[in-house]
Amino acid sequence: MPALPSEAGPAGRAVGLAARLRVYLLYCLPQHLLSVLMYSATRIRVRAVKDWQIRWVIRRYAVEMDLALEPDPAAYPHFNAFFTRALRPGARPLAEGGQNLVSPADGVVSAAGDIVDGQLFQAKGKHFSLTDLLAGNAAHAAMFADGKYATIYLSPRDYHRVHIPLDGRLQAMAYVPGRLFSVNDATTRLVPGLFARNERVITIFDTPAGPMAVLLVGAIFVGSIETVWAGRITPPYRRRVHAWRYDIPGEEVFLKRGTEMGRFNMGSTVIVLLPKDSVAWSPELQAGRTVNAGQAMGQLVSPPAAAPPRIRS
């Protein structure tokens, strides 16, 4: 019997009328325009403005500044520098043992389990297509058929740098245009196919577990998604899928487990995909559970029997 994701935690609560109205309003809003404006607003360097922005978020979301490499809110040149702040050494210890697959980010587990019949669990009563999530790329989807997935939501209070869960050699990356719905609890339960509709950056790695995909999913007010090897991917917002290949000589990118691979501006979601029989999720990896970057989410079952298939864009 395939392991099904837990529905414990936030998914058990009813969505109230006010939350429903906010979600439906998102369909009407100019999502990309608002995100462009937010991108500019979060880079204002006027001291009075940026200090107010930073202190408001610290108070509103109880941000733990004692974990930051720079704990003084006034020291940040603008809000985005604060939002993508580094943590002090040791704040997020890496789980020992190379067989441990670690969380790519601080956040809350939305779902984790098996990919069943090409579908991933989104919320109670809602699933979405693996192929749609991977922008219709059937070859990529085949690598993760009947595989494993974990979805982690980053709130505004969280550390917003994303780290690679396993040692990995980058094979391909794609920018996928889409909507910019919020990715909170209410939208996850009300917007069909949310993660396959939103803008996202897909990265594919070769790892000790075989192929692994790490997806950075955008949301409204996420003014920028970037990677350490390519810099800023968005904005600008493109109308078509844009792909890059790294499986050619001179383009190699190798990252050690727990190394930073990218970052968000504002809150969003990270999805990790792995092949069938590659990893056993930790029993604690339940919906609604808080995780930190570097924390063990599961263990590798065994090395792949054969070399992973060559990635084709």
Could you tell me if 163 and 210 lie in one domain? yes
In order of 86, 110, 116, 123, 273, the CA distances from 193 in angstroms are: 32, 14, 15, 10, 17
d(CA 243, CA 137): 11
Q: Is residue 296 part of a domain?
A: yes
d(CA 207, CA 205): 6
Could you tell me if 136 and 214 lie in one domain? yes
d(CA 150, CA 115): 10
d(CA 112, CA 103): 12
Could you tell me if 119 and 199 lie in one domain? yes
Predicted confidence (pLDDT) at residue 311 exceeds the cutoff of 60: no
pLDDT for res 213 = 98
Q: Is residue 89 part of a domain?
A: no
Marked catalytic residue, from 6, 163, 185, 278: 163
pLDDT digits (tens, 9 = 90+) for 258-298: 999 999 876 689 999 999 999 999 999 999 999 999 999 99
The maximal CA–CA distance of the chain, rounded, in angstroms, is 59
pLDDT digits (tens, 9 = 90+) for 66-124: 999 999 999 999 999 999 999 999 999 999 988 999 999 999 999 999 999 999 998 77
In order of 165, 169, 223, 224, 255, the CA distances from 229 in angstroms are: 17, 12, 19, 15, 10
Q: Which domain holds residue 32?
A: 17-83
The length of the chain in residues reads 313
Average pLDDT of the chain is 87
Could you tell me if 173 and 51 lie in one domain? no
The one-letter amino acid at 150: A
CA angle 141, 267, 272 (to 5 degrees): 25
Could you tell me if 151 and 236 lie in one domain? yes
CB atoms within 10 A of CB 211: 24
Could you tell me if 125 and 240 lie in one domain? yes
> Is 127 among the residues known to form the active site?
no
**CB of 103 within 8 A of CB of 282?**
no
Q: Is residue 58 part of a domain?
A: yes
Q: Specify the higher pLDDT residue, 219 or 32.
A: 219
Q: Is residue 40 part of a domain?
A: yes
Predicted confidence (pLDDT) at residue 224 exceeds the cutoff of 60: yes
Predicted confidence (pLDDT) at residue 41 exceeds the cutoff of 90: no
pLDDT for res 124 = 74
Could you tell me if 64 and 119 lie in one domain? no
> Is 106 among the residues known to form the active site?
yes
Could you tell me if 28 and 55 lie in one domain? yes
Marked catalytic residue, from 6, 78, 103, 106: 106
Could you tell me if 196 and 239 lie in one domain? yes
CA angle 281, 172, 38 (to 5 degrees): 85
> Is 132 among the residues known to form the active site?
no
Strand order in the sheet with 279-281: 100-102, 296-300, 279-281
Least confident of 4-13, 162-171, 173-182, 277-286: 4-13
pLDDT for res 42 = 87
Beta-bridge partners for 113: 149
The count of domains in the chain is 2
Alpha helices by DSSP H, listed for 183-276, are 185-190, 194-197
Predicted confidence (pLDDT) at residue 7 exceeds the cutoff of 70: no
Q: Which two tokens stand for residue 122?
A: 């989104």
Marked catalytic residue, from 35, 103, 268, 278: 268
Question: Which one of 31, 55, 83 terminates a domain?
Answer: 83
Q: Is residue 308 part of a domain?
A: no
Mean pLDDT of 211-215: 98
pLDDT for res 221 = 77
Question: Which residues 6+ apart lie within 8 Å of 229 measured at CB?
Answer: 170, 246, 253
Highest mean pLDDT pick, 19-33, 62-76, 244-258: 62-76
pLDDT for res 186 = 80
pTM of this structure: 0.88
pLDDT for res 246 = 92
Could you tell me if 139 and 243 lie in one domain? yes
Mean pLDDT of 35-56: 91
Could you tell me if 186 and 269 lie in one domain? yes
pLDDT for res 303 = 56
Predicted confidence (pLDDT) at residue 5 exceeds the cutoff of 60: no
d(CA 29, CA 37): 13
